[in-house]
Chain A
Amino acid sequence: MSDNAVEMRDLVKTFGGGRSLFGRRASEVHAVKGISLDLQRGETLGIVGESGSGKSTLARMLVGLEAPTSGTMQIDGKPWAELAATGSRAFGRTIQYVFQDPVASLNPRKTIGEILDVPLRLLCGYDAGKRASRKKELVDAVQMPLDTLERFPHEFSGGQAQRIAIARALAAEARILVLDEPVSALDVSVQAQVLLLLQQLRDDLGLSYLFISHDLAVVESISDRVAVMYLGEVVEIGPAARLFAAPQHDYTKALIASAPRLTSPDIA
């Protein structure tokens, strides 16, 4: 059991429903319909799917930003419900989240130093001296210059902001990271650099990643295993190389056929 960083069993999330003030039944959206997945320690599990497939809902449930309608989750060996009962700090110490839009995930009115200070103070409980040295280490780990700490988010490009967001996720010293489309908003060359950084951090720190993206090639380049989501369900899961070489499910095949390629056999 303890081999798995994350275990999800029959996870369901339904939005809406319930009754309005006048007793009318509100319409329901089934975002996630009975998903069971395991993320092994030190592994990168890729999750691919198109918009509306429920990938982000799944991720937000894992980090406690949404509560599942039914089903259970174990995160780092601890039941989700137990973590939720102890509050957001317990979550933050075990699992962290990197957002798609790095600029929007940094408060525009705070310096990077202030942003990084929060998890170090609240989640790790370090004193001021230790926090200052940790902040320097973190900035260094994501390959940013030291003066980053005194600057404001708008002074950075998308790729740099995503490095900072990764540093914040690392600050909590959680061993599990949920990466929700971390490179989708970035230019290709910056995307490659962020992927390299993520790979290096995983190897150096022994992290486990749940890597969500709509870009098949990106997911394939960093993942050990890949799960394909379609309309709230996992339709196929397998080792990255096998899944893309020999897709079983029709939807996976359609996805792979649609992906634009540099060298496509059918172009004259």
Chain B
Amino acid sequence: MTSDRDRLLDALKPPQPPPELRDRSLRAATDVLRRSPVPDRWTRIWESRPLRLAWAAAVAGLLVANTLIPTTPRPAPATAQGFSLHHLSQAAEDEIRAIATMPRLDLNARSLSGVVSAAAARTGAEETQSPNQKENA
């Protein structure tokens, strides 16, 4: 009776996995890990989408900047520096402007009557009248 019961109970036990399954599974898992390693730092950097976008933006910006800035200086703008007395730059200091500011003089200016100029031409004695100007320098 005991042996029949044992045989019956044995038949109800769940089937055991093959004994070599554990080793086989571990070997297979090891193989998979070896084929797909954890990405290293350089791979992570190379494949990072945000870093790629930043790199592309930096390259584009630098290319534009290099294009906008030529190596030779741009010629000075056509505003006066100070070559011509009557076109002193707005940047000229007040003191320099004061030296450059003088009354206009026209030695050939004629009055309406022309008498004074004609008399001066005859005698050669007329002297240029200096205007009563405060000295600037």
Are A and B co-members of a single complex?
Answer: no
Show the binding face of B for A, using Cβ within 8 Å. none
Show the binding face of A for B, using Cβ within 8 Å. none
